[in-house]
Amino acid sequence: MSLLKTVLTGAVFSSMFVSLGANAVDYPTHPITMVVPYGAGGTTDISARKLSSLAEAELGQPIVVENRPGGSGTNAMRAVAKAKKDGYTLIATTSSPLFVTPAVRPVGYDSVKDFTPILNYSGPYHGVLVQADSPYESFDELIASAKSGTSISYGTAGAMGGPHLSFELIARENKAKLKHVPFSGAGSATAALLGGHVDVALVPAYRDLVLDSKLRLLGVLDDSRDPDFTSVPTLKEAGYDVEFPSVVGVMAPAGTDPDIVAKLEATFTKVANSDEFKEFMTKLNQPVRVMTGKKLGETIKMNLETFRQVAKELSQE
Amino acid sequence: MLLDAFNALMDIWVLVAAIVGIVTGIIIGAIPGLGPTMAIALLIPVTFTMPPIPAITLLLGVYQGAIFGGSISAILLNVPGTPSSAATAIDGHAMAKRGEGGRALRIALYASVAGNIFSCFVLIVLAEPLASMALNFGPAEMAALMFFALLVIVLFGGGVRLDAALMVLLGVFAGIVGLDPIEGTPRFTFDSFAMENGLQLIPVLVGLFAMSEVFLKLFERRSANQGDMDIPEILPSKVRFIDMWRMRATLLWSSLIGTFVGILPGIGSTVPAFMSYSLARARSKQPNKFGEGADEGVAAPEAANNAVTGGALIPTLALGIPGDAVTAVILGAFMLQGLAPGPFLFRDYGIEVYAIFEALILSSIPTIIFGLLLFKIAVHVIRIQPRHLFPTITILALLGAFSVNNSLVDVWVMLGAGFVGFLLRRSGFPLPPLLIGLILGTPLEQSVRQALLTSNGNLDIFWNSHIALSIIALTAICIVISVAISVFKNKRHQGSSDV
């Protein structure tokens, strides 16, 4: 099935190329830089390196991965927004610097106007988790309890992140007593939940802890269900108009030649759908979620507006 | 199980991986600014195609090697290669200056190995119970522990206590710059995007310790003799087993502190190194020797910062929760090898995991062999003339600061920290408390505020937890002891002068 899909996608795109003319065929003539906005060795870095190494073979030029950590990803975004629009500088980036941080404070770039999305290839699911012996069996029960006056504390990977803003919105709309406790990183937030220091944690990478019956998954913040836990609804399905779609995608500076963008999209889509990449991501415990550049652009635009609204409401307090 | 694991180690590639890892680690650790995190991250792609046991042995070898390697430049040049070796520099460099660099390095090496073996042993025997114990440390307990750590450095770190307290506060203030850990709003960044990260540890460390050394030399009054500097004779550097055996209590305490703090997330290896140093000094019969090249002043921090490696692996592997950047990278490496850390790791991959632990212990042998070989060359660094040495340190400092985030701002931070460090050293203030204040300031603030958030602003959360209460009691006892000692000393001093 996936082989057939790969062949078909390949066929569709190669037929597209025939009509693209000589311009795109000349690209790339020298090495491409792929900027990663986080430190070397993190999941975004490791997956971007694998994707790049698979794409190298297709493009015939090396792709050099460059780590530019800091500012929760905004430093790298700012640098790439100002880079040459020749298709030789790309960025593998995530939800937070794309549509969460820019909604909260000035970052020095516009994630819609300054970038051309190429494709989305991953995005870890964020779950709403409680301890396995918690009285709350469903997300509704949790919110009902918080509405009736019980103060419920929830831990996240950091202040003003997507999970935090999403939950603030729920607290506001339902007049629920949800108290945010930010930690430095999802790992510390998970540990705090395991130790019973917070009631709820909104974190990714929960699979084994749930399977081991240490934690219980009440809902998924994403716009689709986690394939590992298909019985657990998204918050939207549970009746709360909130979602935090997690994206990991490749972008180029806005104004890059459309032919080059098309070639990159075709190449990266092909390798992201390859069995080798899927197997690799499974080991990393990361999903492969391929989305076209156009769709990624729409997701970013829509969420940027939503989160701007949330941040505005929060600051009016 | 342990025997099956041992059999799995009987592979030439495991040996090769251990040696390559350790040697690479020692060299990278010795270069200021390049820490274990970067070394491991860069080697991960190399290990993609290797089988799990040699791959992880290679990466953990780099981790161990780098923690130890940091002490080489700390001892010989007074430039800590990694933050955790800043404590080693105090007595290590004092020894090197009188020609005992080789001896200091050997003590550091043996103490490192001791700390490492201790913590690996704990890792093998007690990983799962200790991981669940660590979970009991919530925000309130962490806040109490960090406050205790700050106080230990001030009370027992040596020097005038008021100076140390001032420096700790200065470090805490420097830590305020950046994003508020709870609200996420910028503080003292003056609308600069680059400052939202705050003052990064490595540029500040390299500036405070390495660059300030260059400034000190630069502004030193020139002696009449403009020629070559007198070079200390390199003294015989033998360290006998009995010398190490005499320090067994210090080594054990330091290893315990290192392992224990390593298990808790987010404190790192610098703080336990200084805590062990302070404890060794407080326990010593000759505390005056500390700072002037005491054997135990080198052994204590080295045993502690190496013991952190085993401790930090406990929550990483048993729960899949990494405590810091290095263990987060190691977590990724385990996953790529198909050994997903977490509750199922020991059940599903027992043989591989125990083989890796045994490799960690056995790699002490190549560490000692290659450590001793490297020292033969390294001790001669002390013979380099200042006019060659200081430009080299400057280049390394600039490179180290830049390489953390590939950011020029960090280079300016490093130079600024260097100048501040120069002024403080000229005025006789100690720098280590400043470093500890910077490391613990923000986490302490974050923990206190987290604790108060979960308790709805009620201070009871600090008294209701047995762990937090015990730590607070321990803190109070330390204050009483420290005050009592100084009152007693003053009285005796007055008494003797009356006679």
Residue A75, chain B, CB below 8 Å: the answer is: yes
Residue A70, chain B, CB below 8 Å: the answer is: yes
Contacts of B407 in chain A (CB under 8 A): 68, 70, 75
Q: Which of A42, A153, A184 lies closest to B446 in CB terms?
A: A184
The answer to whether the beta carbons of residues B273 and B87 sit under 8 Å apart is yes
Q: Can you give the pLDDT at residue A4? A: 55
d(CA A166, CA B393): 49
Which position has the token pair 């020095």?
A108
d(CA A49, CA A280): 11
Q: What is the pTM of this model?
A: 0.87
Q: How far is CA B193 from CA A68, A91, A95, B189, in A?
A: 14, 19, 19, 7
Q: Can you give the pLDDT at residue A9? A: 59
Mutant choice from A34, A129, A165, A194 vs B, greatest count of B C-beta within 10 A: A194
Residue B465, chain A, CB below 8 Å: the answer is: no
Using CA coordinates, name the residue in chain A closest to B328. A42
d(CA A113, CA A107): 14
Residue A191, chain B, CB below 8 Å: the answer is: yes
d(CA B141, CA B444): 11
Residue A153, chain B, CB below 8 Å: the answer is: yes
Identity at A61, one-letter amino acid code: Q
The answer for B 314-373 residues in CB contact with A (under 8 A) is: 315, 319-323, 325, 328-329, 332-333, 335-338, 340, 342-344
Q: Looking at A95-228, list the stretches that DSSP marks H as alpha helix, in order from N- to C-terminal side.
A: 95, 101-104, 139-147, 162-174, 186-194, 207-211
- The separation between CA A200 and the C-alpha centre of its own chain, rounded to angstroms, equals 21
Which neighbouring-strand residues pair with B47?
Answer: none
Mutant choice from B193, B447, B448 vs A, greatest count of A C-beta within 10 A: B193
b/e string for B274-305 if b means 16 or more Cβ within 10 A? bbbbbbbbbebeeeebbbebbbbbbbbbbbbb
Q: Do A182 and B136 lie within an 8 Å CB cutoff?
A: no
Residue A10, chain B, CB below 8 Å: the answer is: no
* Stretch A13-37: mean pLDDT: 70
Q: Can you give the pLDDT at residue B276? A: 95
Q: Which of A105, A180, A285 lies closest to B340 in CB terms?
A: A285
Q: Can you give the pLDDT at residue B398? A: 92
Domains, chain A, ranges and CATH? 2-124+246-315 (3.40.190.150), 127-220 (3.40.190.10)
Q: Where are the beta strands (DSSP E) in chain A?
A: 32-36, 63-67, 89-94, 115-122, 127-131, 152-156, 178-182, 200-203, 215-220, 248-253, 291-292
Residue A42, chain B, CB below 8 Å: the answer is: yes
Identity at A277, one-letter amino acid code: F
Q: Can you give the pLDDT at residue A19? A: 46
Q: Is the dihedral of CA B409, B415, B419, B420 positive or negative?
A: positive
Q: Do B343 and A212 lie within an 8 Å CB cutoff?
A: yes
Q: Do A209 and B183 lie within an 8 Å CB cutoff?
A: no
| CA of A6 vs chain B CAs: smallest distance (Å) | 24
Identity at A14, one-letter amino acid code: S
Q: Can you give the pLDDT at residue A20? A: 47
Q: Can you give the pLDDT at residue B108? A: 95
Contacts of B134 in chain A (CB under 8 A): 191
| CA of B114 vs chain A CAs: smallest distance (Å) | 29
Map residue A248 onto helix, strand or coil. strand
| CA of B452 vs chain A CAs: smallest distance (Å) | 10
Rg of chain A in Å (alpha carbons): 20
Q: Can you give the pLDDT at residue B499? A: 43
Which neighbouring-strand residues pair with A116?
Answer: A252
Q: Which of B138, B184, B453 lies closest to A195 in CB terms?
A: B138
If DSSP states are collapsed to H, E and C, what string results for A45-58?
HHHHHHHHHHHHHH
Q: Do B329 and A180 lie within an 8 Å CB cutoff?
A: no
Please determine, for residue A316, whether its predicted confidence score (pLDDT) is greater than 80: no
Q: Can you give the pLDDT at residue B128? A: 84
Nearest residue to A147 via CA among A165, A170, A131, A118: A170
Residue A1 banded pLDDT, cuts 50, 70, 90: very low
The answer for A 108-147 residues in CB contact with B (under 8 A) is: 108
The answer to whether the beta carbons of residues A212 and B320 sit under 8 Å apart is no
Q: Can you give the pLDDT at residue B34? A: 78
Q: What is the mean pLDDT of chain A?
A: 90
Q: Can you give the pLDDT at residue A171? A: 93
Q: Do B450 and A104 lie within an 8 Å CB cutoff?
A: no
Q: What is the pLDDT of residues A171-214, one digit of tens each?
A: 999 999 999 999 988 989 999 999 999 999 999 989 999 999 99
- In the predicted model, residues of chain B with pLDDT beneath 70 are 222-234, 495-499
| CA of B494 vs chain A CAs: smallest distance (Å) | 51
Residue A68, chain B, CB below 8 Å: the answer is: yes
Q: If you count residue pairs, one on A and one on B, with CB atoms under 8 Å apart, how many are there?
A: 144
Mutant choice from B28, B135, B195, B263 vs A, greatest count of A C-beta within 10 A: B135
The answer to whether the beta carbons of residues A40 and A96 sit under 8 Å apart is no
Using CA coordinates, name the residue in chain B closest to A108. B193
Using CA coordinates, name the residue in chain A closest to B327. A41
Identity at B132, one-letter amino acid code: S
Q: Do A69 and B405 lie within an 8 Å CB cutoff?
A: yes
